[in-house]
Amino acid sequence: MQQKQNILNYYRFFISNWKILLFAILLAFFSGFGQTFLLSLYIPSILKDLSIRHTVYSAIYASATLLSGVTIIFVGKLIDRVNIKSFAVAVIIGITAANIVAGFSFNLFTLFIAIFMLRFFGQGLLSHTAMTAMGRYFSKARGKALSIAYLGFPLAEGIFPILIVLLIGAVGWRQSFLVSAISIILILLPVTLMLLRNFSSDKIVEDSSPLSKNKLKTNADQKIWRQREILRSKTFYLIAPTTFIMGFTQTALFFFQTFIAEDKGWSAEWMALNITVYAIVSFTFSIVAGPIVDKVSAKKTYPLVLIPLLTGLLILILFKGLWATSLFWLFVGISGGLNPTVSNALYAEIYGTFNLGTVRSLFTFVMIGSTALGPVVYSLLLDGGLSFSWIHLIIITIITLNVIVLLFQTSRRSEKA
């Protein structure tokens, strides 16, 4: 009965705010054009056509990703000063241009520029815009809004790989990028303009009632956080490690999935098939996280985000049975679903919503940087003689220490309250 009521509440909430929520879902969905799970599909074709080694491509990919992370620190905060529609349109034009440049990459320089633009506008700014909008425009139902927006990510993970593989096979990898550019201009741009036409935060509905003007005034009176102040605060260094660990580990697990499968005696096909478990569980827990955050608060939920990931890594170390593959991806998927909803709600709870774009740009840099470093550090450790089990044991130790510190800080805040 309770589950039916929760579904009904979600339905009413979506219907009341369907334009801004659909806008966020679409931006999260189209951010797939700059995500590792999709770009990795182009690697064999790019290596063959440009006659480069995998190590060269990895270096280009990592450096371009790091540069995009640094750039977003400065560009991401502009969302606090620019109209949301204008900012979104600029980002959409950017990801379109990125795909066009990728389609005309004939040397290492243009390849670097293409990957930088895809990572910057796709993984970076499209995701940044979607999540910042949800954190800013929703208050009492912020967790619910973020969890709905997050649905775009697993949908992209489930749909895009199949389409892109078929497209590359049918027309080639260069033409595939150009088709992607055309689809963005023909679908995402006009739909965004339609959804945001005459949009106003006064039209936001939470708990079946319009967001009050008093709440909007309170937001306007919030402290203006500058990036220097955020970096000087202890809170940033308490929150950032979870963001880094999640991006670092999750990207490396996807990047090395075939090698991990070989190490465990599993087939690459079986490993890939079980990533579906990850997508389903991630999708489910992104929905579950919304009401939890709205009821309990992100501050109390955040310390628990990495515990499922820790559990999944333990299973990966200890067991070799085929059943362990599914269980491993299940627990990784739980953390994967909880993290975006809880962390984005946490930024708003701690720093407020007035200049949320400035705040998120720093954490987006941490996330993007971690995704760039994950595969590189894994490679160095593997070349140094460490096994996957030892690498994951090190990560488990770091996660444990991180969880202890966060739980300690949470308990201290509760005692003061």
> Average per-residue pLDDT in the chain?
87
pLDDT at 157: 80
Task: Flag the least confident range among 89-103, 226-240, 328-342.
Answer: 226-240
pLDDT at 393: 97
Mean pLDDT of 158-163: 82
Mean pLDDT of 256-270: 85
Structure-token pair, residue 284: 């489910």
pLDDT band at 101 (very low <50, low <70, confident <90, very high): very high
Mean pLDDT of 148-156: 87
Mean pLDDT of 287-301: 85
pLDDT reading at 208 higher than 80 = no
CATH superfamily of 17-198+225-416: MFS general substrate transporter like domains (1.20.1250.20)
What is the percent of the chain with per-residue pLDDT over 70, rounded to a whole number? 93
More confident: 383 or 175: 175
pLDDT at 417: 47
Task: Flag the least confident range among 76-90, 219-233, 329-343, 350-364.
Answer: 219-233
pLDDT at 120: 95
How do the domains of the chain map onto residue ranges? 17-198+225-416
pLDDT at 403: 95
Mean pLDDT of 223-249: 89
pLDDT at 1: 54
Task: Flag the least confident range among 332-341, 352-361, 386-395.
Answer: 352-361
Highest mean pLDDT among 167-171, 304-308, 338-342: 304-308
pLDDT reading at 218 higher than 70 = no
pLDDT at 151: 87
Mean pLDDT of 269-285: 84
More confident: 192 or 226: 192
Mean pLDDT of 272-290: 85
Contacts of 70 (CB under 8 A, 6+ apart): 365
Q: What is the dihedral angle through the alpha carbons of 280, 282, 287, 290, rounded to the nearest 10 degrees?
A: 170
pLDDT at 215: 44
| Tens digits of residue pLDDT in 21-59 | 999 999 999 999 998 878 888 888 898 999 988 778 888
pLDDT band at 210 (very low <50, low <70, confident <90, very high): very low
